[in-house]
Copies of this chain bind each other. A is one copy, B any other.
Amino acid sequence: MRFVVIMAGGAGTRLWPLSRQGRPKQLLEIVDGKSLLRLAYERVSSLVPDDRILVCTGRVHADDVAAQLPELAAGNILGEPEGRDSLNAVAWSAAEVARRDPDAVVAMVTADQVITPVDEFARSLDVAFTVAEAHDDALVTLGVVPTSPHTGYGYLHKADELPGFPGVHAVAEFKEKPSAEVAERYVASGEYWWNAGMFVWRAETLLGQLDELLPRTADTVRQIVAEPERLDELFPTLQKISVDYAVMEPVSQGATGARVVSVPLAIDWRDVGGYLSLADLLSTDENGNRVDGRTVTLGSSGCIVVNTAGPAHLVATLGLRDTLVVATGTATLVAGLGETERVKELVELVRTRVGAEFA
């Protein structure tokens, strides 16, 4: 049977103070009142029934996830005791799905982006399921057809087309985030896709690859799903490593005899990694500012003003240019728009100067 696991970990420091340790960006209700998590659920809910949709998230966020996805049973929310990087979220989820159905084919999807059109995404995911069902030896990735030489994504280098699946290609190589020059070359060649960080495979295929590449991880996640009461003891012993580095790259290099193939996503792919990309999702006021929540702007332009402090709080700007203003119940950030890349640095300063409870 087909399963979907939505990966919703991560702290999202770049959107501080909207996102906090207690509230990662996937849970922020920033797109017409919906969170990225909710959008991710709605993207896949036409493909599989709710009892086969799982979410893997930090345990501290499990209640918030449950509140945003009331359709899911509590047992379908996998709460990691702590973050151990992407491989272990993927591996634990795969083991849990394999426990429920040893023949399961599972899509591991992210909740970091706004994707349109949703139909096109669902169509590609359906193709990826079909490829994984037809090929026990395939790790299927989703590759976004690039619309620009973006330097913020990894790239997949396409090789031969998969027989019987027009447009689906073997992946020859995973490339880290490139320089601007290299990204230009990649996109001009037509041979590269953005690495979406989404995967489809038989759960047992992924676990079999781990048996070869990281056997201790494979054993541990199988133990966790067999004895879930040992989660807190075992999960923190897992080696911290990304799924690309642990599995996708070595397999694409032929390390195990399995193969990596990629299904293209011809979609609009908006990463909501920082405030400049978030602004694209906000409405525009009469002065050309991007605003959200209870705000008033006077003589201000080119600003991003986000107020999530509730209806009893007003954010007003006066004679302001190209400035970011973010107000939450516990913190206010005001930043020059050209400086938002330094938010992580600011959060570190907040942590050391004021206290971790504000970071």
> Which residues on A are within 8 Å of B, measured CB to CB?
17, 294, 296, 298-299, 307, 309, 312-321, 323, 325, 327, 329-336, 338-340, 342-343, 345-346, 349-350, 353-354, 358
Contacts of A320 in B (CB 8 A): 323, 334-336, 339
**Complex formed: what's the CA distance from A15 to B130 in Å?**
65
Interface CB pairs A-B, < 8 A, 29: A296-B349, A298-B342, A298-B345, A298-B349, A307-B332, A309-B332, A312-B330, A313-B332, A314-B330, A315-B331, A315-B334, A316-B331, A316-B334, A316-B346, A316-B350, A317-B333, A317-B335, A318-B333, A318-B342, A319-B336, A319-B339, A319-B342, A320-B335, A321-B336, A323-B323, A327-B327, A327-B332, A332-B332, A334-B334
Contact present for A334 and B330 (CB under 8 Å)? no
Given contacts A294-B354, A296-B350, A298-B342, contact A335 B314 (CB under 8 A): no
Chain B's nearest CB lies how many Å from the CB of A341? 9
Instruction: Please measure, in the bound complex, the distance between the C-alpha atom of A244 and the C-alpha atom of B321, giving whole angstroms.
Output: 41
A315 surroundings in chain B (CB, below 8 A): 331-332, 334
Q: A299 contacts which chain B residues (CB < 8 A)?
A: 339, 342
Closest residue on chain B to residue A333 by CB atoms: B316
Contact partner of A354 (CB less than 8 A), chosen from B309, B314, B349, is: B314
Q: What separation, in Å, do the CA atoms of A99 and B317 have in the docked complex?
A: 49
Q: Could you tell me the distance in whole angstroms from the C-beta of A348 to the nearest C-beta in chain B? A: 10
Q: Please measure, in the bound complex, the distance between the C-alpha atom of A135 and the C-alpha atom of B296, giving whole angstroms.
A: 55
- A329 — which chain B residues lie within 8 A by C-beta? 313
Tell me the nearest residue of chain B to A350, going by C-beta. Answer: B296
In the bound complex, what is the Cα–Cα distance between A222 and B312 (angstroms)?
43
Q: How far is the CA of A345 from the CA of B349 in the complex (A)?
A: 36
Other contacts beyond A299-B339, A313-B332: 11, CB < 8 A: A17-B316, A296-B350, A298-B345, A314-B332, A315-B332, A317-B333, A319-B335, A319-B336, A319-B338, A323-B323, A327-B327
B residues less than 8 Å from A339 (CB atoms):
299, 318-320
Q: How far is the CA of A298 from the CA of B343 in the complex (A)?
A: 10
* Residues on the B chain within 8 Å of A314, using CB: 17, 330-332, 350, 354, 358
A325 touches B334 (CB 8 A): yes
Q: What is the CA–CA distance of A65 and B307 in the complex, to the nearest angstrom?
A: 33
Query: Does A318 lie within 8 Å of B332, measured CB to CB?
Result: no
Q: List the 10 closest pairs (A to B, CB-CB), nearest first.
A: A319-B339, A318-B335, A319-B336, A314-B331, A315-B332, A314-B358, A298-B346, A318-B346, A317-B334, A327-B332
